[in-house]
Structure 1
């Protein structure tokens, strides 16, 4: 059983790997993207940060370290832990691309999830 590398990308970007499974990890549907035109295989809303954490963070780069810490704590329990387990299962059998609408994916929840999944 081999674990594939987990990658991150913007949901608006075209797919570069036709064999990869593309999973949207945002709680809210991306603005301006028609569901019929979305190039995703799955939408895993429950793995996204809580609305409170998302609003607190606001994608402020200076808060990313604290966001990462708080988000990892959220991912340890409840629905989010179950959703993370689902992503771990997918990553065992597929190349996984975690998608987000964030302008800077390197400071997004997708980056935190990628770290967790690549380290497991």
Structure 2
């Protein structure tokens, strides 16, 4: 199974897997039907304060990454989210969806790296 990220605005929607929106706000112009989500993990997204500070300014990305990882470590929702991702990876691909235009400097990139370092998820990804 694979753990990947995808911009929600991508024309060809990948339905081959469990689709999780990892943004705090619903992406503009996307209907809930077209999103074809299995879950919306808004509690796992960066806080409003951090998101507004980052404002998708590339030079701030290293600091954003550090701060977001701290938020994930302190977020009481993180363990359940990691468990759910691991559970889904046992039977299907998991796709983390985000709305940001920048495909290299966004919270989904950080979250993907964070999840890939979790022992339960590492073990499942190694089975490939």
Shorter-chain TM-score range: 0.7 to 0.9
> What's the RMSD between the two structures over aligned residues?
1.7
Q: Structure 1: 5+ residue runs without aligned partners?
A: none
Aligned residues: 116
Q: Is structure 2 residue 110 aligned with structure 1 residue 112?
A: yes
Deviation at 1:95, TM superposition (A): 1.2
Task: State the TM-score, normalizing by the size of structure 2.
Answer: 0.80
Task: State the TM-score, normalizing by the size of structure 1.
Answer: 0.85
Q: Structure 2: 5+ residue runs without aligned partners?
A: 119-128
Deviation at 1:83, TM superposition (A): 5.0
What pairs up with 1:88-99 in 2 under 5 angstroms?
88-99=86-97
Q: Is structure 2 residue 29 aligned with structure 1 residue 32?
A: yes
Secondary structure in structure 2 of the residue aligned to 1:79: coil
Secondary structure in structure 1 of the residue aligned to 2:69: helix
- 1:64-118 deviations in whole A, cap 9, x for unaligned? 1100000000001233424542334434443111100100121111000111112
